[in-house]
Amino acid sequence: MTDPIADYLTRLRNAIKAKHRVVDIPASNIKKEMTKVLHDKGYILNYKFEETKNHQGNIKIALKYNPETKQPAIFHLERVSKPGLRKYAPADALPRVLNGLGVAILSTSHGVVTDKEARDMNVGGEVLCYVY
C-alpha cells in the first residue's frame, strides 16, 4: 500500500456512505493519533485499539450519527498531503477549514494535532487532511 492515510480516510468515507456503525481499519501509529484527534473533536463516537500478535493490530471505530436525522458527524474527509506531493504549512500560514468550522489535521514535531492546536503552539507541519 503506497498511501495508508488515504486508505484510512477512504475506509471511513465508505463506511459513512454505507451507514455502518463500526469500521475496522489496520492500525499504524499515525492512524492511531489521527483517530484520537477525531474522537477529541467529536467526529467519531468511540474507538478501540485491538492488538494482534503478528501485526500491529486493528482500530475499531464507532461512527457518530445524529439520532434524529441520521446524518453523519463527518460530512467530508479530504486528503491534502499525498506521497507524490507533500503539503507543508508554516506556523504563520496554517489552513482554516470552512472558516474555522472544520478541522485540518497536521503532523508536527509535537505530534499529530489540529490546526487550532498548532496555532496555539506556534508550530507548522505537514497538512494530512481536512475534516468537516
Tell me: the pLDDT tens digits for 37-47? 999 999 999 99
DSSP state of 76: -
> Taking 90 as the threshold, does the pLDDT of residue 52 lie above it?
no
CA-closest candidate to residue 62, choices 42, 78, 77: 42
User: What's the CATH class of domain 4-63?
Assistant: alpha beta
> Taking 90 as the threshold, does the pLDDT of residue 53 lie above it?
no
Phi and psi at 21, nearest 5°, equal -90, -35
> Taking 90 as the threshold, does the pLDDT of residue 1 lie above it?
no
DSSP three-state, residue 63: strand
pLDDT in tens, 69-127: 999 999 999 999 999 999 999 999 999 999 999 999 999 999 999 999 999 999 999 99
> What is the rounded CA–CA span in Å between residue 78 and residue 93?
19
Domain boundaries, the chain: 4-63, 77-131
Cell numbers 506556534 correspond to what residue?
A: 122
Position 55 confidence tier, pLDDT thresholds 50, 70, 90: confident
How does 64-78 read in b/e, with b if 16+ C-beta sit within 10 Å? beeeeeeebbbeebe
CA-closest candidate to residue 33, choices 90, 14, 41: 41
Q: 35 is written with which cell numbers?
A: 483517530
Does the 77-131 domain belong in CATH 3.90.1150.10? Answer: no
